[in-house]
């Protein structure tokens, strides 16, 4: 960890391995590196779960809640499908709900679909998604972000939610599954007419920065457009270039709205409000740097993978919640966090779930744009990992 600003603001690289003794963890219960893929674990599996899943002919992936929770939970779906493949259980898999298109991008759903030998059905998703499928499922698996602890094994902690979900499911299913960290699946991207239109009119240039202003908690998580503009100005000045800043907002209620602001000295600003997540997944890999608060679109940016296989650096801003739990675990997904966020990380705590009132009222103004710009410059220049 490297200090980047006063008042306890620190940078946490996505590639950092957290030692088990540095944070509050729950031992996984076995040496994962020492167990061959497909071998039984030295823990009893959930016999009822194994029996029901073994007889299923269809798996329905159903998420209806928050985008961020959904994306970080897809590793749990990955674990179930990995187990079915290892057990040679043939199932048809389909995704339903508002995120079906994004889930299809992960490659988790096989094409063409397998022939279902059984009418038994498993539903896996968040609580709202599972309940929307009714009571006809043979087995239902709810992936609750509050449920899995921060696991530790082989001397390292696994604090990010994708790792928590995958390893929790591995324990329940009772065999060593194939995935290694990072456990989050990535989202395939491709040609997109809207993205090509932005490129044709010059908005995807030599120094292109995306900043995410959308949030479900604006009074605490909105970094504000002006701070992002100031950040972009510092980066542009250092690179002696004109920066193009894409401000990614939420849905204003009347669909997609694209607005260009009057050019600044070093920055041209384009506001994109209400852009569909599927389109943003195709847009983000064309950026050089992405900065956002702890929200679903920031996780989406980290998971979107360009056609070349690369992804731009993503910086998440964490004022209150654990900077490690609420990340994808991917090496290019970094964090800048307050002392409070680091204490939540170290103790595996949540200020909402555990009703922890902060000593001071911590907001997004804890992150000086100049300090964030320095982090961004070092990432762009390859100084930071």
Q: Is the peptide bond prior to 182 cis by the omega test (within 30 degrees of 0)? A: yes
Q: Sorting pLDDT into bands at 50, 70 and 90, what band is 113?
A: low
- Chain segment 311-323, per-residue pLDDT in tens: 999 999 999 899 9
In the CATH hierarchy, which fold is given to the domain comprising 2-15+188-380? Answer: Rossmann fold (3.40.50)
Q: Sorting pLDDT into bands at 50, 70 and 90, what band is 302?
A: very high
Residue 157 has pLDDT above 50, yes or no: yes
As a whole number of angstroms, the distance between CA 254 and CA 259 comes to 14
Q: Among 199-213, 263-277, 334-348, 354-368, which stretch is predicted with the lowest mean pLDDT?
A: 354-368
Residue 267 belongs to what H/E stretch? Answer: strand 267-273
Q: What is the average pLDDT value for the chain, to the nearest integer?
A: 92
**Domain ranges across the chain:** 2-15+188-380, 31-185
Q: Is 372 helix (H, G, I), strand (E, B) or coil?
A: helix
Q: Distances from the Cα of 265 to the Cαs of 210, 245, 287, in angstroms?
A: 18, 13, 21
- Chain segment 327-355, per-residue pLDDT in tens: 999 999 999 999 999 999 999 999 888 88
- Chain segment 256-275, per-residue pLDDT in tens: 999 998 888 899 999 999 99
Do β-strands 120-125 and 92-96 pair in parallel, antiparallel, or remain unpaired? Answer: unpaired
Burial of 206 (0-12, 13-18, 19+ CB in 10 A): exposed
What is the length of the chain?
Answer: 385
Contacts of 249 (CB under 8 A, 6+ apart): 213, 214, 271, 272, 273, 274
Burial of 261 (0-12, 13-18, 19+ CB in 10 A): middle
Q: Are 209 and 235 in contact (CB under 8 A)?
A: yes
- Chain segment 167-185, per-residue pLDDT in tens: 999 999 999 999 999 999 9
pTM (2 d.p.): 0.94
């Amino acid at each position: 960890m490297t200090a980047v600003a006063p008042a306890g603001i620190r940078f946490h690289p996505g590639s950092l391995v957290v030692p088990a003794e540095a944070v509050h963890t729950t031992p996984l219960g076995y040496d994962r590196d020492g167990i061959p893929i497909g071998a039984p674990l030295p823990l009893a599996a959930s016999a009822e779960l194994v029996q029901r899943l073994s007889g299923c002919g269809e798996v329905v992936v159903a998420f209806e809640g928050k985008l961020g929770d959904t994306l970080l939970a897809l590793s749990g779906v990955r674990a179930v499908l990995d187990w079915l493949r290892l057990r040679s259980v043939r199932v048809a898999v389909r995704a339903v709900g508002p995120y079906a298109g994004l889930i299809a991008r992960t490659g988790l759903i096989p094409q063409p679909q397998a022939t279902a030998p059984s009418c038994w059905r498993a539903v896996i998703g968040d609580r709202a998604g599972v309940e929307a499928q009714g009571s006809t499922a043979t087995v239902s698996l709810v992936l609750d972000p509050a449920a899995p602890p921060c696991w530790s094994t082989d001397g390292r902690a696994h604090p990010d939610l994708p790792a928590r979900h995958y390893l929790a499911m591995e324990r329940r299913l009772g065999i060593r599954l194939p995935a290694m960290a990072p456990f989050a699946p990535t989202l395939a991207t491709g040609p997109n007419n809207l993205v090509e239109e932005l490129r044709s009119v010059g908005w995807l240039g030599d120094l292109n920065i995306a900043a995410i202003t959308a949030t479900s908690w604006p009074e605490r998580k909105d970094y504000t457009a002006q701070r992002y503009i100031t950040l972009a100005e510092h980066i542009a000045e250092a690179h002696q270039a004109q920066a193009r800043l894409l401000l990614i907002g939420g849905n204003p209620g009347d669909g997609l709205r694209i607005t260009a602001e009057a050019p600044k000295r070093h920055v041209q600003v384009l506001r994109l409000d209400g852009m569909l997540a599927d389109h943003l997944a195709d847009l983000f890999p064309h950026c050089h740097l992405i900065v956002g608060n702890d929200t679903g679109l920031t996780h989406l940016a980290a998971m979107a993978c360009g056609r070349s296989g690369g992804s731009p650096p993503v910086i998440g801003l964490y004022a209150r919640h654990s900077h490690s739990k609420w990340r994808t675990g991917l090496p290019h997904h970094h964090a800048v966090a307050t002392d409070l966020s680091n204490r939540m990380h170290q103790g595996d705590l949540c200020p909402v779930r555990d009703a922890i009132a902060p000593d001071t009222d911590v907001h997004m103004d804890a992150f000086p744009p100049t300090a964030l710009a320095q982090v961004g410059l070092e990432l762009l220049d390859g100084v930071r990992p």
